Structure 1
Amino acid sequence: MSAVEASAQSIEQSAAEPASRPWHRLLAPFAVAVALLSAFLTFVVLTGLTPIAPTHEIVVTFLLINGATILLLLGIIAREVWQVVQARRRGRAAARLHVQIVSLFSVIAVLPAVLVSIVANVTIDRGLDRLFSVRTRAVIENSLIVANAYVYEHAQLIRGDILGMSNDIARARPLYDQDRQTFRSLLTSSAKSRNLPGAMIIDKDRNILETAATGIRQDFQTPAADFLKNVTEEDPQIAVFIEQNYVAAVIRLRAFQDTFLYVARLLDPRVVAQLQQTQASVKEYAELESRRLGIQVAFALMFTVIALTVLMSSVLIGLNFANWLVAPIRRLMGAANLVSTGDLHVQVPVIKSEGDLASLGETFNKMTQELRTQRDDLMNASGLIDSRRRFIEAVLSSASAGIIGVDGAGKIAVLNRSAEKLIGHSESEVLSKPLSEIVPELNDLMATARSSAQRLLQGQIEISRDSVERNLSVRVSSEQTGQSNESYIITLDDITELVTAQRTSAWADVARRIAHEIKNPLTPIQLSAERIRRKFGKVITEDRPIFDQCTDTIIRQVDDIRRMVDEFSKFARMPKPVIEGEDVADTVRQVVFLMRVGHPDVDIEADIKQEPMHAKFDRRLISQGLTNIIKNATEAIGAVPPGEIERGHINVIAARENDDIVIDVVDNGIGLPKESRARLLEPYVTTREKGTGLGLAIVGRVLEDHGGRIELNDASALRPGARGAWVRMRFSVLGQAKDAGAAESNEIKAEAVTGN
């Protein structure tokens, strides 16, 4: 293996080892934690700080656990040392430095551990010798003797008091039988004089016969009946109640039959508490003295285990620290060897926790980065350009407005999907082609933009693609490039529906005014013409045919004008639809029947795809709209030159598509014009000589009120090779627009669809 390959492997191993073996990094801390925990548990158990008694089995168990943890630490240390030795043999970078640091930390760890162990054992021995010395034992025993002397003194005092009181009571035996109140007073005075808060006379069954009224409320426990059998008249029995804080005595009374005197005296509570504490201390001291050898052995073992644990932990920590210290140096040395061979892409992994060594790695990485800056700048610039291009393409493809990018030479450079739909060409067809050839309607605006000093220019154009005319709002913004020529961004917004809605609203207002101004004089004109004919018809003898023809013409033209005004009024004041549940199939069938009767020379057929076909709509308005469309179809058939078709034919197809009702009217007439087809839906636009141009506008408005629209197509789009027109009525099953806000924003929306 060459030096360069060894260096590369060293860098890869140093960088990959922490990520590939995380358990290896956690094993050493885990082993140290377990060893310290076992040592701590051994300490608390052997010192009696836990409910677990330090029996022989417990001690052996804890020693085995500590031994196991020490063996685990030894195994980890041996493994680390073996890895260091193997790295030295393989000639890895910084292997000698690694061995030196490990040796230094091992020596530093061993010396303090040994010193602490020796000092701890000597300290324990000296401490135990002083604890169990003769002077300490004498002090503890004397404190118990002093406390017992206080109790003994009170016992002797109460002995004399009870003997004196028993003699007094024996002499007052007649008073007990004759005057019990005086006897009770004698008993009370005797108890108070002797400072006895409790004095009572009881029988052999522990029944209280008399009690001294000393004024001190204290419950004194009377002796048991079996105990009273052994009490004599000369030797009183004395008892000390430490918990109840008093000393009591009982004696059999002379001159009484099985009667006893029971007295009690309170002790000083502080002295009693001290007595209890002294007794407990003496007992504990005796137990410790009996376990002295075991304690010495336990503490010696505990300190030995702790010393070994600390020693092994220190060595292991030293090894880990050496690994942590040598790893970045090893990576730097390996990277330097790779740089010396001309590899400028080498990067040293930088770990922030390594401190100054991490800064050294950062400096090395900056150095290699500066060496390859000139070459990488070109690659980065190319990547940046590609990234920006992809971003711009994503933005343009998602924009609802059409966007066309034009370079300084007037050629198309960018075209998004919306613009493709508006101009009728795909991006692949028009890239690098002159804009004037693809969209000649923009020539005037582009000429103005080039000659104007303004950076933004707005305007409107009309374009026609695939027999569909659209009104577009155009914004042309210029961008100065590094050359003398400018590039342009053209934004196209389809405002066809908005313009149509504005025109319809304006025409509705005009129709309202025309109907109002023209309808008023029609009736007087008609009445005057009829009166002239009645009054002068018999008088005029010359040129009578001419007179009749003129009056008839006036009356007929007035009727025609009135009919036209009625259509104006109807368009201006469209009734609000009354939405009710109806059957579309029945409605279509009735309209077809009436039109078939009215036009027997034309074959009118109804094709109902579903019966019944329930929906919500205004039956009168939908019937009126369908009648207008079929009537237009019959007129289109009548306009066909003789001989081109054998017989007129109209197909009315009713079906349901999802949530819409669709009624198609297909004829074989002269068809719809290719140019300005969308304007047929505007008021007063017609291709017939006597037409008002309001029929399709009214139908479109009715359908919009029902949440739908009217579509104008060629019959060949439905039936290839056929002639004539295909008109589709579409409205919602619910009888209202899905988007109410959109329905309110425009007064009339009608869409001309010529393709799909």
Structure 2
Amino acid sequence: MRRALVILASLGTILLFLLATASGNTSAFAKYYTILLSINGLMLLAMIVLVGVRMMQLVQKVKHKVFGSRLTLRMVLMFSLVAVLPGALVYTLSVQFLNRSIETWFDVRVEGALDRGLNLGHNAIDFQQNDLLRKARVIALEIHDENGTALLSRLTRLRDQIGVQEISLFDETGQTIAHIGNENAGLFPSIPDRNQLRQAQQGPLKQLEADTGQGLTMRVMMPVHDTGLSERTRILQLRQPVDHTLAADAELVEQVRADYKQLSQSRQGLKLIYSLTLTLALLMALLGAVALAIYLSDKLAAPLSVLAEGTRAVASGDYSQRQPVISRDELGILTHSFNRMTRQLADARSALEQHQAEQEAANAYLEAMLGSLTAGVMSFDDSWSLASANQSALRILAIEPLQLGSLPLQRWPELYPALMALCDEVMLGFAGREEHWQKSVEVADQKRILQIRGTRLAVGESRTGYLVVFDDITDLISAQRDAAWGEVARRLAHEIKNPLTPIQLAAERMELKLADKLDQPGKDLLSRNAQTIVKQVAALKQMVDAFRDYARKPTGKKKALDLRQLLSEVLVLYEAASVKYEDTTDSPLIVDGDATHLRQVIHNLLQNAQDAIHSQESGQTAEGAVRTPQICVRTEKTDKFARLVVEDSGNGFQPDILPRVFEPYITTKQKGTGLGLAIVKKIIDEHHGRIQAGNRETGGAWVRIDLPLAEE
């Protein structure tokens, strides 16, 4: 912008100077004024485009609310107003003064004097022409009867008397009859044309002609009529040059008058020319002033825009902005203060970030510590809204913090009905005055037992909070129960197994010794009683073996084996049963396990399923469809586990025993020991697997086992 202004100002000054010079010089005006006017017009157009583009850019900045644009526009308008008002006043006065000056150049008296001088010259020439015409009449009267030699003598004498330069006589056709002249006359007469001859025959003719060698020459022609019988008409012509001084004066007056008339007729053009020159000068000066105003306004508003940009950067968190101090005025002081402020803010933010980093590290350490705890930890504010909870608490209670929001603890059962007992116990625990309390609560739908501990928190001087810590002791209680049952099973196996063999041997010996000494009825009675004792002993031995299996310690005989192959080996024994096998994977399911124990697991599950379908006769479902007794075995691969699912179409588990189906001595069979599924769970736990049971929607039960896949 600065370079463009300098170039345009230089070119505009030069062009305006040349235009003004051409306007004051007639020759220069005639040659170069139009070209200079066009060049100045192009320069004006370039300045209009430059100023227009800059103004449009400024208006667009104002529309987009660019900082500093309104101030720049206001300053441009002020500078432009300061330039336009004096310029318009000077232009108006200059135009009026110019018009008045041009009008004073053309005075009516001057024009009248020129006209009178011109008329005076014309009158003098007319007088000489009339005098020459009078002389022609005299000569015509003298020669109207003359012919031949007498005519020439008479014409010569008359020319000498009258003092005419040239006398010529022509016939009607223009043929020369006689020609007399002095030393200044030519050898041959100036022959008139046919038009002149025709006019001369009708009457006297006088003309003023411009002669190349002699200047202005008067020509007078008149008819000469013969008085004889021929009645022919001859034409007399007199030619006399006008006095050189009079001719020069008359020509000068006429030239001056013509020039004056031409100048008078072009005075409107002069006004237009000078007005255009003044208008171009004014417009170029005003546009230059506006362009300079835009440039100066940008220069003045630029530091404010820089500070505004720095302020926005500071508002967005960038405190590294340092603006250069380019002046020592108030703007420079403001810039220096801004730099000092940003430096102080940067130092303060660095200290705050360091403190926040330390606080975040402490919080992260605390969160990591709480996250690594298996116990659930929850804190509540004084309105019983959840303030924080670790992942273990969310996992144990199966809750979503986003769903709870600011819902108080008393209203949690609206979203999670199974937590009603937990919420009641927590509220009851904090209802007393004890600072610390401890209780055990059972979660209804999950059949989990939680050990809860609560304590009050002091949050500030006027607010209180509550901290609840709980552990899932379901597995601990189950392990304690399993250990107790295992101890009972070992003691029973030990105490019962020892006397069973002597009892069986004594019964068999008694039957053998006494059979021959009794009659037939007594012998039959003895045999029946002895067999009863033997069968009951065998049943007791089977029960003792089950106790032994349940109470045994885990073995370390584990190796990699294919669960699919092991299942196929077991299913061979159940070919007679209606067992349907579904394999959803094409690859082997390799697990680390004890083949004997896993085979026992499959046997127990298939035997339970077979017993379930045998106790359920073929019938119809609730929808009326025929239900056929069937066992379905399915293997599949899920993530990092090999899954085995056994389903049957029996009666399923009773709802009251389903949560405790894997506990010892829980059974629905009339002759069952209740240790089958307990032994299965114990074996699966030893293999670090998972086991679940449930009822099918279409009727029957299912048992699902997940065993970890062996690492390749």
- Shorter-chain TM-score above 0.5: no
Under a length normalisation based on structure 2, what TM-score does the superposition of the two structures give? 0.44
Which of structures 1 and 2 has the bigger CA Rg? 2
